[in-house]
Homo-oligomer: A and B are copies of this chain.
Amino acid sequence: MAAPRSPEEAAAPAPGPARPGSTQASHRLLAYSDALLSIIATVMILPVAHTKIHPDQELGESVQQQLLTKIAVYLMTFLIVTVAWTAHVRLFQVIELIDDVVALLNLACMMLITFLPYTFSLMASFPGVPFGIFMFSTCAVIIGLIQAVIVAYGFYHPYLLNHQIQVSENQTFYKHHILKIILRGPALCCLAAIFSFFFIPLSYVLLGLVIFFPHLTRLIIWCKSKAVGVKEDEEEPHSLESFSFYLSEPLSKERVEAFSDGVYAIVATLLILDICEDNVPDAREVQDKFHNSLIEALSKYGPNFLAYFGSFVTIGLLWFVHHSLFLYITKATRLMGLLNTLSLAFIGGLPLAYQLTSEFAEKSRNEIETIQVSCVITFFASIFQFAIWITALFYERETLHPFARYGGKEHAFMFAKLALYPCVSLGAFFLTCLLSKFSTEIFHLMQIVVPFAFLALRIFVRISLVVIRSIINLSQRKDVSLEEEEACLSPAETLS
Chain A positions near chain B (C-beta within 8 angstroms): 1, 5-7, 10-13, 15, 21-22, 24, 28-29, 31-32, 35-36, 39-40, 43-44, 46-47, 50, 100-101, 103-104, 107-108, 110-111, 114-115, 117-118, 121-122, 125-126, 129, 131-132, 253-254, 257-258, 261-262, 264-266, 268-269, 272-273, 275-277, 279-283, 286, 294-295, 298, 308-309, 312-313, 316-317, 319-320, 323-324, 326-328, 330, 401, 403, 409-410, 413, 451, 454-455, 457-458
Contacts of A44 in B (CB 8 A): 276
Whether A410 contacts B39 in the complex (CB less than 8 A), given A121-B276, A294-B129, comes out as no
Complex contact B323–A29 (CB within 8 A): yes
A21 contact from B35, B47, B276, B410, Cβ within 8 A: B410
A6 contact from B5, B29, B104, Cβ within 8 A: B5
A5 contact from B5, B43, B253, B282, Cβ within 8 A: B5
Contacts of A316 in B (CB 8 A): 107, 110-111
A272 contact from B21, B117, B280, Cβ within 8 A: B117
Considering residues A13, A312, A410, which has the most beta carbons from chain B within 10 angstroms of its beta carbon? Answer: A312
**Could you tell me the distance between the alpha carbons of A29 and B323 in the complex, rounded to whole angstroms?**
8
Complex contact B7–A280 (CB within 8 A): no
A27 to chain B, nearest CB (A): 8
Complex contact B458–A100 (CB within 8 A): yes
**Could you tell me the distance between the alpha carbons of A120 and B181 in the complex, rounded to whole angstroms?**
49
Q: Closest B residue to A47 by CB, please name it.
A: B277
Contacts of A24 in B (CB 8 A): 324, 327
A278 to chain B, nearest CB (A): 9
Complex contact B253–A104 (CB within 8 A): no
Complex contact A269–B5 (CB within 8 A): no
A43 contact from B11, B108, B118, B276, Cβ within 8 A: B276
**Could you tell me the distance between the alpha carbons of A47 and B279 in the complex, rounded to whole angstroms?**
11
Complex contact B7–A312 (CB within 8 A): no
Contacts of A114 in B (CB 8 A): 268-269, 272, 312
**Could you tell me the distance between the alpha carbons of A258 and B295 in the complex, rounded to whole angstroms?**
38
A7 contact from B1, B40, B111, Cβ within 8 A: B1
Complex contact A122–B261 (CB within 8 A): no
Complex contact B31–A258 (CB within 8 A): yes
Complex contact B294–A131 (CB within 8 A): yes
**Could you tell me the distance between the alpha carbons of A324 and B32 in the complex, rounded to whole angstroms?**
13
Complex contact B273–A43 (CB within 8 A): yes
Q: Could you list 23 examples of A-B contacts with CB < 8 Å?
A: A5-B6, A6-B6, A11-B330, A28-B323, A32-B261, A39-B269, A40-B269, A40-B272, A43-B269, A43-B272, A44-B276, A100-B324, A100-B455, A101-B455, A103-B320, A104-B455, A107-B317, A110-B316, A114-B272, A114-B312, A118-B280, A131-B295, A262-B265
Complex contact B43–A265 (CB within 8 A): no
Complex contact A126–B269 (CB within 8 A): no
A264 contact from B32, B122, B268, Cβ within 8 A: B32
Query: Can you name 17 extra interface pairs (CB under 8 A) apart from A28-B261, A122-B294?
Result: A6-B6, A21-B410, A22-B410, A24-B324, A31-B258, A35-B35, A47-B280, A50-B277, A100-B458, A107-B316, A107-B317, A107-B320, A108-B451, A114-B272, A118-B280, A121-B280, A125-B281
Complex contact B132–A253 (CB within 8 A): no
Complex contact A111–B312 (CB within 8 A): yes
A401 contact from B7, B11, B268, Cβ within 8 A: B11
**Could you tell me the distance between the alpha carbons of A11 and B403 in the complex, rounded to whole angstroms?**
12
Contacts of A320 in B (CB 8 A): 100, 103-104, 107
Complex contact A276–B47 (CB within 8 A): yes
Among all A-B residue pairs, the 7 with the closest Cβ atoms: A35-B265, A6-B6, A107-B316, A21-B409, A5-B5, A39-B269, A131-B294
**Could you tell me the distance between the alpha carbons of A415 and B189 in the complex, rounded to whole angstroms?**
43
Complex contact B253–A35 (CB within 8 A): no
A442 to chain B, nearest CB (A): 23
Contacts of A29 in B (CB 8 A): 323
Whether A454 contacts B323 in the complex (CB less than 8 A), given A36-B269, A40-B272, A277-B47, comes out as no
Q: Closest B residue to A33 by CB, please name it.
A: B265
Q: Closest B residue to A324 by CB, please name it.
A: B100
**Could you tell me the distance between the alpha carbons of A115 and B301 in the complex, rounded to whole angstroms?**
14
Contacts of A454 in B (CB 8 A): 100, 104
**Could you tell me the distance between the alpha carbons of A294 and B43 in the complex, rounded to whole angstroms?**
23
Contacts of A7 in B (CB 8 A): 1, 5-6, 253-254
A85 to chain B, nearest CB (A): 14
**Could you tell me the distance between the alpha carbons of A326 and B24 in the complex, rounded to whole angstroms?**
11
